[in-house]
Amino acid sequence: MRKTKVTFNNERLQVSSEILRALAHPLRLKILEFIDSNETINVNKIYNTLNLEQSITSQHLRIMRNAGILHAERDGKFVHYTIDYEIIRRAEFAINNFLNK
C-alpha cells in the first residue's frame, strides 16, 4: 500500500488557523452578530451594550482584527469596526466543504 504525501502551505495554514480561532469563541461570535446588526460601530457602544469590560472587548476585537475578520477605522478618538464579509463567507464555505466530504 502506498502512502499519500501530505503537504501544507504553512503561510496559508497559519492564516486559516487564525481565522478559525477567531471564529471559534462564543463571545467573539456575539460581538460579530452585534457589529453585523449595526454595520459599523465603535468599541464603546459594543462593550456598553453587551455589558462587557472594555479590556475584554478590546482583546477580542484585536484577535478578530488580526485574523482579518474585522476592519478598524479611526475617527478622532473613536475606532469604528466593520466586518469583512468576504473573509467570513470564504471561511464558512471552506468549513462546509470540509464537513460535507
Q: What does the domain layout of the chain look like in residue ranges?
A: 26-99
- Can you give the pLDDT at residue 83? 97
- Can you give the pLDDT at residue 98? 84
Record: fold of 26-99: Arc Repressor Mutant, subunit A (1.10.10)
In which residue are the cell numbers 481565522 written? 19
- Can you give the pLDDT at residue 101? 64
- pTM score of the predicted model: 0.86
- Can you give the pLDDT at residue 1? 61
**List of the chain residues with pLDDT < 70:** 1-2, 101
> 101, 92, 81: which is closest to 24 by C-alpha?
92
- Can you give the pLDDT at residue 5? 79
**Angle, vertex CA 75, rays to CA 56 and CA 77, nearest 5:** 55
Given a contact cutoff of 8 angstroms between Cβ atoms, the answer to whether 81 and 42 are in contact is: yes
